[in-house]
A and B are shown apart, each in its own frame.
Chain A
Amino acid sequence: NAGVTQTPKFQVLKTGQSMTLQCAQDMNHEYMSWYRQDPGMGLRLIHYSVGAGITDQGEVPNGYNVSRSTTEDFPLRLLSAAPSQTSVYFCASSYSGEGYTFGSGTRLTVV
């Protein structure tokens, strides 16, 4: 099992560009979430999903879109990148909301 796979690991964007952060899991988990972590800070929930076709907003959803067309994949789209979106992004999945497995993260810099 690969667990939770995030791509890319590093990305530099220019202000205004759009991009998609990929997240895939092979554990047949229903629950998937996206978090961002800023230096010295905790993890803030961006969007989450409890199953294919179901998504909901987290604490800091503005500027991000998600979709969940399959159980395995949960991509995060940045619509128009801003310097305030410079962060480390973690995708996580769970069978039932207990004990999330995290990916290794995507380090995003917006210049």
Chain B
Amino acid sequence: GQQVMQIPQYQHVQEGEDFTTYCNSSTTLSNIQWYKQRPGGHPVFLIQLVKSGEVKKQKRLTFQFGEAKKNSSLHITATQTTDVGTYFCAGPLYNTDKLIFGTGTRLQVFP
């Protein structure tokens, strides 16, 4: 079945360093969504990418959707302690509306 993997599983950085998480799907995705979950909280929607090669920015966060629409990345510039949490990518199961989540990358930022 369709799988959505993320790497790394866990990363800790010093405040001010950059961070990138990568998302890879075994099948082509019609769109990719990114969510953030703070420790003890619930996932919060960040953004959706639809077009091949699309790049979107939200302040220090840059999201990319691969040309083949099978991979995506989230890059955070100059991390802050408020960036702590787990970042998930998610995409619809092929030809359905079922949203399947990636394995997540847990980010820890040390001051």
Contacts and interface: CB of A to CB of B under 8 A. Distances in A.
Interface of A: 31, 33, 35, 41-45, 48, 50, 56, 58-59, 90, 92, 97-105
Contact of A48 (B1, B41, B98): B98
A103 B44 CA distance: 10
Contacts of B96: 56
A52 B103 CA distance: 30
Contact of B43 (A43, A48, A56, A59): A43
Interface of B: 1, 31, 33, 35, 41-45, 48, 88, 90, 92, 96-104
A56 B42 CA distance: 23
Contacts of B48: 98-99
Nearest to A33: B99
A77 B41 CA distance: 23
Contacts of A43: 43, 88, 90, 101
A41 B9 CA distance: 10
Contacts of B41: 104
